[in-house]
Chain A
Amino acid sequence: MHNSEKKRIGRNITRAGMRILISAWLLPASFLFATPPRAEALTADEIIERMEANQTHSTAIIEGRLVISDRFGDRSSTYIAHSEGADRFLVEFTSRAEEGQRVLRRDDSLYLYYPDARETIRLQGAALRDNLLGSDISYEDMTGGRGLASDYRFTLIGEDEVDGYPSYKVELVARTTSVAYPRQVYWVDREEFVLRRAEQFARSGRLLKTVHVLETMRRDGYHFPSRMRVVDETRRSSGTEMIIESARLGVSLPRNIFSLDALTW
């Protein structure tokens, strides 16, 4: 395969639909429409654009935890995430069992660092479909960040209510075959333009994942999901909650924090 073609496919994969799941690690900092007035007769493109704007920012430091549930019980992992823009972040796990493990996203690539390993692992191809810490979130879900519009066509298919919040129901149909979810349905809050619910489907129409926003958070004029439950519908009795415990936006980050050298500090 030609290099440019590989890059294009790689970029398309990284723009895959589940990027909304990591909005918690990619919070907005330079957003002008955090609580916009109610928009009348918005198009689907405008709704998604506003929702994405609510999740795009210059820099952020987030502390939170993942609560992973399955038939054997719950387990919790804490993390601190540094992010810059929509496509660079570094997540470091701080809980005892995963202490020091890091995930770096830069240049459309995902790197894993483990204290016991002498090399970093660059996840590519099928490895991206593996789950982060055995949760319902795949590494592929942590890619993306360049805007849904390049990978999907949007159609407003109605309005609905999610947990009492009036929401736009928008269908996303993939423009390319290289995305993780060929079809998605988003429920976007009509007032706040924050995601309330999402469903992701396979090409066959099978439901693969659902995302349910349980709580939202307001910081510095931004309004974003702060507690989400992600369920991989292909697994039995599982679910993962992503919880943000603190968020600092627009902060200055250490130099070279997103470099490969810094990853192995």
Chain B
Amino acid sequence: MRLSGIALRNIFRNKRRSLLSILALAVAATSITIFFSLFEGIKTNIQTNSWDWDAGEVRLRHAEFDRYEYLNPVQYVVGDYRDLVDRLRAHPEVRTVSPRIRVLGAAFRGEQQFATLGLGLDLEREQEYQDLERVIAAGRLPRSGTNEAILGRGLASDLDIGTGDIVTFLIQTRRRGSNAFTLDVVGLADFPVPQLNSSGYILPIENADRYMRMDGAASEILLKSVGGDTVEFADGVRSFLEESGRTELSVVPWTRISGGYSYLRTAGVVYNIVALIFFLLASTVIISTTMMIIHERTREIGTLAAMGMHGGELVRLFFLESAYLGAIGSFVGVVIGVAITIPLSRIGIDFGSAMDMVEMDLSSVLYPVLNVRSTVLVFFFGLAVAMVSTYPSARRAAKLRPVEALRAE
């Protein structure tokens, strides 16, 4: 009989024990498949939020603003932004452009003061940059050139106002003086970034320009590329600006701005370690199961050895048994993991207010994303763990002397 046939038959000799090994591996593989999908979802979410609401894929600002950002030097602006936006739109590597005016200030309700961040957007062109409609929770988007605004739901709740009300903001102008203005609330937004929800609002860029005394300048310009490497894209934009004589501007890729990206780099390592721990836990079950099998089948091992089976063949036999268990356990685990992830990737997982405390561009509702590469990797890793876990016990079996093995009780 071939070794593979013997190994397959042996699996069914103690079904409960085999089932325990399969179950241990399946649970580990399921957990890790979901875990990796969630991590992939977090990565996608942070990138999307950062590109849409914070840093773009690449951000253009006055270099002095970046240098003194901690002092909020609003006087350092991107001058004559309309001309620059037109020329950037014509650049072959640029897919979309979003000029923005950031309006830092405060709103009041009685003795309470709330810090606010207004985003002055070119509402007609912003639709090319991102789908603004998806953030509307009630009402509609403001119209260009009007005193209208859409408020983050948290901010509206703090100020106890809703659609149809007015709201007044006290802000710092480009000259670092102050100004206040009143806007009509025409909608409420569910921004994907918690900080924007609690303090943000959108207003037309023309009005932000007037209130901030920007004189045709923008706070920043966000860019998305047609595809490819972000750093190379940033280098290309930098060269373009140098050729255009706009050397006062700094070009920074989102990977250097986003706090979430730094988190991802650290978290990626941590998550891999966590995955390893899951499999190590599963491997303890396989090790103990194999040890039990060898202990129970010592006389059988002695008989096989007496009939001429070599040590190497014995090791291969136990490896094959583990490989079958590992393949079944990993496959079942991955399939269950995928079956759980697919609906979750559509309905999302709502972490609720817990995410409000997270200071990065991470939404409170996360959508796991299945990554084929990591899912296949989980299957093969489970298989490998099962086989490697068997090795010490299999070696021990191979070293047994037939005479001693046959005497075993």
Contact = CB atoms under 8 A, between A and B. Distances in A.
A112 B176 contact: no
Interface stretch (A34-42, A119-127, A183-191): A119-127
Interface string A126-160: 11001011100000000000000000000000000
Interface string A97-125: 11001000000000010101111011011
B176 A134 contact: yes
B175 A97 contact: yes
Nearest to B170: A121
Pick from B73, B166, B175 the residue with the most CB of A within 10 Å: B175
A232 to B, nearest CB: 14
A206 interface: no
Chain A contact residues, majority secondary structure: mixed
Interface residues on B, range: 20 to 34
A125 B113 contact: yes
A77 interface: yes
Contacts of A127: 106, 108, 111, 113
B173 interface: yes
B181 A124 contact: no
B308 interface: no
A75 interface: yes
B177 A97 contact: yes
Nearest to B210: A116
B102 interface: no
B111 A124 contact: yes
Contacts of A119: 166, 168, 182
Given A112-B170, A119-B168, A75 B175 contact: yes
Contacts of B179: 98, 101, 114, 116
A112 B180 contact: yes
Interface in B326-374: none
11 contacts: A97-B177, A101-B179, A114-B170, A116-B180, A119-B168, A119-B182, A121-B108, A126-B113, A130-B106, A132-B178, A134-B176
Interface of B: 68, 71, 73, 75, 106, 108, 110-113, 166, 168, 170, 172-173, 175-182, 210-211, 213
Interface of A: 68, 70-72, 75, 77, 97-98, 101, 112, 114, 116-119, 121-122, 124-127, 130, 132-134
Given A112-B170, A125-B110, 19 more contacts: A68-B176, A71-B68, A71-B71, A72-B75, A72-B176, A75-B175, A75-B177, A98-B177, A98-B178, A101-B179, A116-B181, A116-B210, A118-B166, A118-B182, A121-B168, A122-B108, A126-B113, A127-B111, A134-B172
